[in-house]
Amino acid sequence: MKFGSGDEADESQVEDRRGGGGGFGFPGGRIGAGAGGISVVGVLLYLAIRLLGGDVSPNAVPGTDVPSGPQGPVDPTSTTNRALGGSCQGASASGDQGKFVSCVQSNVQAFWNGKLSHYAPAKLVLFEDRTPSGCGLASAATGPFYCPEDGKVYLDLGFFQELHARFGARGGDFAEAYVVAHEYGHHVQHLLGIEQKFRRTIDESPDRRRALSVRLELQADCYAGVWGHAAYDQGKVASTEIADALDAAAAVGDDRIQQETTGRVNPEKFTHGSSAERQHWFNVGMSTGDPGKCDTFGGQL
């Protein structure tokens, strides 16, 4: 991606909690397999179903409900003094990753602010390991997510390394920007009332939860593509970078993750959609730039 001299990052929309907890991890300081701990397999599978956001509460991971470190409970407002605002010119994922995602969220939110008359900004929370959220404990094991309870996006930057190293995504600026834009796609769903309809529907018909969750995630992919279309038109994204984002979408398809983690594919357990579905809906948004084309529900809500 190429940010110009006129691109600015709004630091007021970023909570940088990195380093605020004094260096804590899972209970006992390691991933445990016993009672009250988390098995390595459990973390990998939970990470797999939570990649790129979803509706699973972070507290669904057992043994991660008390965010504390050597100095006691984590202060959720604790921040560092990193410069995350100001000019975005030259910002890249390979440089200062925090500044880069700050620039991306500012650009994404400016786009949706121009699209929605009632747009309200959502803060981006950067953290390491664990931090409290309105939806429970945010953990590195849960992957990035949007919390409708406090209207914030949570992201441990270490996720991008997992995306590349564990799931084989090529990476690159636009691939990482896609992740951020996907989470803000969930925020758009909340502002449009789609997320609320989803919750009411699954409350009434719990057996539809998994199928509708896939549609919710695919729509967030499409919304990410809608923003990407605008970024491409503005000259911020090169045509060659679009393939990087599509590659990232494929890397976190349910079928690929299931195959790599369990050796088999079970569509009945999909939560985010297959690699092909995720690529398709991102491409729908990317090629049309029209959020109206992102109806992944087809009237089923």
**Is 272 part of any domain?**
yes
Measured CA to CA, the distance from residue 250 to residue 301 in angstroms comes to 26
Once rounded to an integer, what is the mean pLDDT over residues 136-158?
93
Once rounded to an integer, what is the mean pLDDT over residues 70-85?
52
Mean pLDDT over the full length of the chain: 79
Number of structural domains (the chain) is 1
Tally Cβ neighbours within 10 Å of residue 23.
11
DSSP one-letter code for 121: -
Overall size of the chain counted in residues: 301
Strands ordered across the beta sheet of 14-16: 14-16, 123-127, 152-156, 145-147
Residue 190 sits in which domain range? Answer: 8-293
Which range among 112-121, 156-165, 244-253 shows the weakest confidence by mean pLDDT? Answer: 244-253
Kindly report the pTM of this predicted structure: 0.80
Measured CA to CA, the distance from residue 229 to residue 119 in angstroms comes to 19
**Is 171 part of any domain?**
yes
% of the chain at pLDDT higher than 90 = 57
φ, ψ of residue 156 in degrees (nearest 5):
-95, 120
- Is the pLDDT at 132 greater than 90, yes or no? yes
**Is 301 part of any domain?**
no
pLDDT of residue 263: 80
What is the rounded end-to-end Cα distance, in angstroms, of the chain?
Answer: 36
pLDDT of residue 267: 73
CB 22 within 8 Å of CB 71 = yes
- Is the pLDDT at 79 greater than 80, yes or no? no
Place of tokens 């849960």: 142
Tally Cβ neighbours within 10 Å of residue 193.
10
pLDDT of residue 257: 66
Measured CA to CA, the distance from residue 152 to residue 147 in angstroms comes to 6
Q: Which tens digit of pLDDT belongs to each residue from 179-198? A: 999 999 999 999 999 999 99
- Is the pLDDT at 43 greater than 60, yes or no? no
**Is 44 part of any domain?**
yes
Position with higher pLDDT, 111 vs 300: 111
% of the chain at pLDDT higher than 70 = 75
**Is 299 part of any domain?**
no
Position with higher pLDDT, 53 vs 262: 262
Q: Which of 18-27, 56-65, 116-125 has the highest mean pLDDT?
A: 116-125
pLDDT band at 167 (very low <50, low <70, confident <90, very high): low
DSSP 135-177: TEEEEGGG-SEEETTTTEEEEETHHHHHHHHTT-----HHHHH
pLDDT of residue 20: 60
pLDDT of residue 237: 94
- Is the pLDDT at 41 greater than 60, yes or no? no
- Is the pLDDT at 245 greater than 60, yes or no? yes
**Where does the chain show beta strands of DSSP type E?**
8-9, 14-16, 68-69, 72-73, 86-87, 123-127, 130-133, 136-139, 145-147, 152-156
φ, ψ of residue 14 in degrees (nearest 5):
-125, 130
- Is the pLDDT at 242 greater than 80, yes or no? yes
**Is 124 part of any domain?**
yes
**Is 298 part of any domain?**
no
**Is 2 part of any domain?**
no
Q: Which residues of 30-40 are buried (b: 16+ CB within 10 A; e: fewer)?
A: ebeeeeebbee
Measured CA to CA, the distance from residue 283 to residue 177 in angstroms comes to 15
Cα angle, residue 277 at apex, residues 272 and 283 outer, rounded to 5°: 115
Q: Which tens digit of pLDDT belongs to each residue from 197-208? A: 999 999 999 999
Q: Which helix (H) or strand (E) holds 192?
A: helix 173-192
- Is the pLDDT at 61 greater than 70, yes or no? no
